[in-house]
Amino acid sequence: MTWESRKGYWLYLIPGALLLTVIIVVPLGWNVYLSFTKYRGIKPPTWIGLENWQKLFQDEEFWASFQHSIAMVVAMVVLPTLIGLVLASLLFDLVGRRFGGKVVGLLRAVYYLPQILPIAIAAIVVGWILRPDDGALNEVLTAIGLGGHNWLGSPDTALLSVGAVLVWIQIGYPVVVFMSALQRIDPQLYEAAELDGANWWQRFRAITLSGIRPEIFVVVLTCTVAALKVFGPVYALTRGGPGSSTIVPSYYSYTEFFTAQQVGYGATIATALTVVVLVVAIFFVRAQFRLADEEER
Amino acid sequence: MTTTEAEPTTTTPTRQNRRRRTGWEWLALTATVLIALVMAAPLLLVLLNAFKSPEDFAGNGPLGLPTGLYFDGVKTFWDAVNFPEKVWNSILISGCVAIGGVLVSVLNAYALGIGRIRGRMWVLIAFLLATIVPQEALLYPLYIMFKNVGLYDTVWSVVIVFIVIHGAFGTYLLASVFGAFPRELLEAAALDGASRWQILWRVVVPVCRPTLAVLAVFFFIWTWNEFLIPLSFLVSESNQTVQVGIATLQGERIMNVTTISASALLGIAPTLIFFLVFQRTLTRGLTAGAIK
Distance from B267 to chain A by nearest Cα, in Å?
A: 6
Rounded CA gap, B214 and B93, in Å?
18
Q: How many CB atoms lie within 10 A of CB A21?
A: 13
Q: Which residue of B has its CA nearest to A285?
A: B291
pLDDT band at B289 (very low <50, low <70, confident <90, very high): very low
User: Considering chain B, what is the average pLDDT of its residues?
Assistant: 81
Which residues, at least 6 apart from B194, have a Cβ–Cβ distance to it below 8 Å? B202, B203
Q: B168: nearest CA in chain A?
A: A20
A104-109 contacts, C-beta under 8 A, 24 or more apart: A104/A179, A104/B8, A104/B9, A105/B8, A105/B9, A107/B32, A107/B33, A107/B36, A108/A175, A108/A176, A108/A179, A108/B283, A109/B279
What's the confidence (pLDDT) of residue B11? 44
A127 touches chain B (CB under 8 A): yes
Taking the C-alpha atoms of residue A218 and residue A212, their distance in angstroms, rounded to an integer, is 10
Nearest to B134 among A119, A122, A277 (CB): A277
DSSP string spanning B62-91? TTSPPSS---HHHHHHHHHTTHHHHHHHHH
> CA gyration radius for chain B?
24
Q: Which residue of B has its CA nearest to A10?
A: B111
pLDDT category of residue B16 using cuts at 50, 70 and 90: very low
- Could you give the C-alpha distances from B209 to B113, B177, B184, in angstroms and in order? 16, 11, 18
Between A237 and B92, the more confident residue is: B92
Number of H helices, E strands in chain B: 15, 0
Write the pLDDT tens digit of every residue in B165-219. Answer: 999 999 988 888 888 888 888 989 989 988 889 999 999 998 888 788 888 988 9
Distance of CA B183 to the CA centre of its chain: 32
CA distances from A149 to A131, A133, A156, B63, B68 (A): 9, 9, 11, 18, 30
> Do residues B189 and B212 make contact, with C-beta atoms less than 8 angstroms apart?
no
Query: What whole-number percentage of chain B has pLDDT above 90?
Result: 27
Helix (H, G, I), strand (E, B) or coil at B283: helix
Is B18 a residue whose pLDDT tops 70?
A: no
Give the pLDDT score at B3. 39
pLDDT of residue B292 exceeding 50, the answer is no
Around Cβ A83, how many Cβ atoms within 10 Å?
17
d(CA A125, nearest CA chain B) in Å = 6
Q: What are B234-249's pLDDT values in tens digits?
A: 988 888 988 888 887 7
- Contact of A92 with chain B, judged by CB distance below 8 Å, is answered with yes
Closest CA to B268 of B41, B88, B92, B47: B47
- Segments in chain A below pLDDT 70: 1-6, 296-297
Least confident segment among A102-111, B268-277, B280-289: B280-289
Q: Decide: pTM greater than 0.80.
A: yes
Q: Does A16 touch chain B (CB under 8 A)?
A: yes
Cα separation, B246 vs B230, whole angstroms: 12
- ipTM metric: 0.81
User: Residue A91 and residue A176: Cα distance in Å, rounded?
Assistant: 11
Of the two residues A154 and B65, the one the predictor is more confident about is A154
Which of A4, A9, A182, A195 has the most B C-beta neighbours within 10 Å, making it the best mutation to test the interface with B? A9
> Quick one: average pLDDT of B264-291?
66
* Confidence at residue A63, expressed as pLDDT on a 0 to 100 scale: 93
Q: Do B136 and A19 touch (CB under 8 A)?
A: no
The pLDDT of residue B252: 59
For residue B224, list chain A residues with Cβ-Cβ distance below 8 A. Answer: 118
A244-249 contacts, C-beta under 8 A, 24 or more apart: A244/A61, A244/A64, A244/A65, A245/A155, A245/A158, A245/A159, A246/A68, A246/A158, A246/A159, A246/A162, A247/A61, A247/A64, A247/A65, A247/A68, A248/A65, A248/A68, A248/A69, A248/A72, A249/A62, A249/A65, A249/A66, A249/A69, A249/A273, A249/B136
Mean pLDDT of B151-156: 93
**Residues in A touching B161 (Cβ below 8 Å):** 23
All residues of chain B having their beta carbon less than 8 Å from the beta carbon of residue A128 are 257, 260-261, 264
DSSP string for residues in B237-273 = GGG--HHHHHHHHHHHT---HHHHHHHHHHHHHHHHH
Reduce the DSSP state of residue A37 to 3 states and report it. strand
Question: Does B243 sit within 8 Å of A99, measured CB to CB?
Answer: no
B9 pLDDT tier (thresholds 50, 70, 90):
very low
Please judge whether A100 and B45 are an interchain contact, meaning their C-beta atoms are less than 8 angstroms apart: no
Encoded amino acid at A187, one letter: P
Are A140 and B134 inside 8 Å of each other by CB? Answer: no
How much is the average pLDDT of B225-235?
A: 90
Determine the residue of chain A that is closest to B64 in CA distance: A136
Q: Say what the pLDDT of residue B5 is.
A: 40
Q: Is omega for the bond preceding A132 within 30 degrees of 0, making it cis?
A: no
Averaged pLDDT for residues B212-231: 88
User: Do the Cβ atoms of A250 and B134 come within 8 Å?
Assistant: yes
**Nearest alpha-carbon partner for B146 in A197, A239, A23, A35:** A23
For residue A117, what pLDDT is reported?
81
